Structure 1
């Protein structure tokens, strides 16, 4: 029988391989959704905005359903695997979009991107809860920094190869994108294979768990509520610029598929360089304190991006922003796990993701609305100001967390 240590090592290995496959899938598909929509399908700014926001509102509905399901599951691996598999099947539908009448292609593609997030949200929610149960608290910062570094390297290599391949085709040629969607589906099967290789200990649920469980108990835990406020505020400022970057890079800076790939690779280089450092700093200073630092760094990116249309300059901006994206990815998830308890982790994660989905729908639409009503400069700078303000909010959250820890050490009860 495997010892607990051997099981942990095996799960960590399979998690890295599963994550690498996931990253390759996303690098072959999601990274090029906006370029495919604009260059091949002729999508409007509004439709490009929906590519960022529609999946979020679909995800919100999925999170509500997922919260109920997760509260009733004794084993999460099987549910997580099927969710990932059904998500990847949508890539086959995207391959078929070009065989529809031209007037409907862009809208069908946007709808497919949105609906794909129904099983995708199930997959995300169940994976977070699943991996949170498998990885011991003492290993979180170290393991996730190592895992994220491996994933980013896999994505960087994949994106670079795709960028070089896209150079051989005209930007409006649909064939390379169709090939990417098929390859992404095949790697999705590998993704599911390694997910199924994780070893999960079946947990017996209490009888009352058989009742419908909406996750409202998460709001009885004050540390989670304070994190929720800080995290959602930051995500609003972060996500409102997502469609703006795509519109600016493609329509204003006239970046081709090759340069879009270089932007992504540059961002990933910044992440690879810094994942380990963020993990060490989180262990030394806490996730909450370093999130404030991350927010300030993220605030610079939108304003820096609109200073020039020089493609080499924009690549370097992506390298810079990648450093802080790495911190954001690592620290937000670690902090979420830190403010949850084992008995309410699924509830907290699901409630966070439900509200995050609402923010994810509204924020990109606000960004596009500001662009249409004012200018690219005003819209991007607004995102920078909101991100900067979120740094102050995270600092307040850090002070609260520190006070709670002092109270616990002194024998008091945290609130």
Structure 2
């Protein structure tokens, strides 16, 4: 009878966790849309240039390199992990208010100060992102994780599409650069309020192991890393993921430069491009969930990353904003698969006892690639042109997908 009661409580926790995990994702997406989705365009309106665009892509990763692992060690040593995570979330959301204050600085300093604040925000963000990824393993059983991640991403993306569309329409109402900047300030403040509500939903989540918040895990960084290095599945995935993230992140600043500097996209066009991509993302999560269940994470990640390799080519084939808006729907499909399958694969290959540090190491390495990727692509752009840069990024992305393919083939050959 006790076993039945415990099972019933666990299933109830799973249902409640799924609900609040989804609510949390929706609110987080709206907060992100209001405060960060148009950050590069806001930077442009402040007087930013292509160097600022590259720095706003790379500096957050540089900050995270030095904070992720130490932050996770502090998190692990805390007997109240969820409360500590909530405090870190709040410190991150405060930056939304700081963004609003940038316009009161001297004009010549506004772009670089905004870049600095945006990058510094990644100090709490890098810790919270890794912690939340690990916490997902605490609130869902392994067989439920793919469904939970897909459901959260699906509804979050729908919310993001709605928020983007509304944001783009409102920003379009301003006929002056100064008026648009004031609208951004208003959205930064609203995003802070939504962020606080988002954190409230986070505290509604209940770990399936009731003691995981109260009990410290035996922890020794050196021993943990030694154990992780013995996990061949994790190491192989890590190498493939580092290569892919490097190629993925190379494109971020270049896509912004192509949209804003070359095609002269304003907020409305940026909204249409993002809505086209995100709407397809929202509709395709169920499809990717089926692919993962039928083919497994190892093959699904090959398909998703190969599709991501096509995205830069789609930019090359899009000489107008209208065509780019239409082709963005294709990249949206593969982005959806990538976001689900990378996290699901990471959780799958990480040992339970080393999961927090395994995720932290993965995120630290992908933050290193985030630091250098945009700077390298900007260097290539300065030495060549936008078209050749996009083609080079596409080639590197396809090579990274090939690495995942080799991993999949070797797994199939390995004895069961």
Could you tell me the TM-score, scaled by structure 1's length? 0.94
Match runs of 1:117-136 below 5 Å: 117-136=122-141
Q: Match for residue 151 of structure 2?
A: 146
**Which of these residues, 377, 381, 390, is aligned with residue 387 of structure 2?**
377
In structure 1, distance between residues paired with 2:176 and 2:64: 31
**Which of these residues, 148, 160, 169, is aligned with residue 165 of structure 2?**
160
1:227 maps onto 2:234 in alignment: no
Q: Match for residue 64 of structure 1?
A: 69
Aligned 8 A contact 1:268 1:322 in 2: yes
Query: Which portions of structure 1, spanning 4 or more consecutive aligned residues, are displaced by more than 4 angstroms?
Result: 204-208, 211-215
1:356 maps onto 2:366 in alignment: yes
In structure 1, distance between residues paired with 2:12 and 2:405: 39
- 1:215 shift after superposition: 4.5
Q: Match for residue 282 of structure 2?
A: 272
1:301 maps onto 2:306 in alignment: no
1:30 maps onto 2:36 in alignment: yes
Deviations 1:80-118 (A, max 9, x none): 211111101011111000000111111100000100000
Aligned 8 A contact 1:215 1:350 in 2: no
- The runs of 5 or more residues in structure 1 that have no matched partner are 408-415
Q: Match for residue 410 of structure 1?
A: none
In structure 2, distance between residues paired with 1:76 and 1:323: 35
Q: CA RMSD in A?
A: 1.6
Aligned 8 A contact 1:70 1:346 in 2: no
In structure 1, distance between residues paired with 2:364 and 2:27: 26
**Which of these residues, 231, 255, 270, is aligned with residue 265 of structure 2?**
255
- 1:207 shift after superposition: 7.7
Q: Match for residue 376 of structure 2?
A: 366
- The runs of 5 or more residues in structure 2 that have no matched partner are none
In structure 2, distance between residues paired with 1:214 and 1:401: 27
Match runs of 1:15-94 below 5 Å: 15-38=21-44, 40-94=45-99
1:202 maps onto 2:231 in alignment: no
Larger deviation, residues 232-241 vs 1-10: 1-10
The number of residue pairs the alignment matches comes to: 404
Aligned 8 A contact 2:134 2:359 in 1: yes
- 1:214 shift after superposition: 8.2
- 1:163 shift after superposition: 0.8
1:106 maps onto 2:115 in alignment: no
- 1:69 shift after superposition: 1.7
**Compared with structure 1, are the counterparts of its residues 11 and 309 closer, same or farther at alpha carbon in structure 2 (3 Å cutoff)?**
same
Aligned 8 A contact 1:234 1:387 in 2: yes
**Compared with structure 1, are the counterparts of its residues 207 and 6 closer, same or farther at alpha carbon in structure 2 (3 Å cutoff)?**
closer
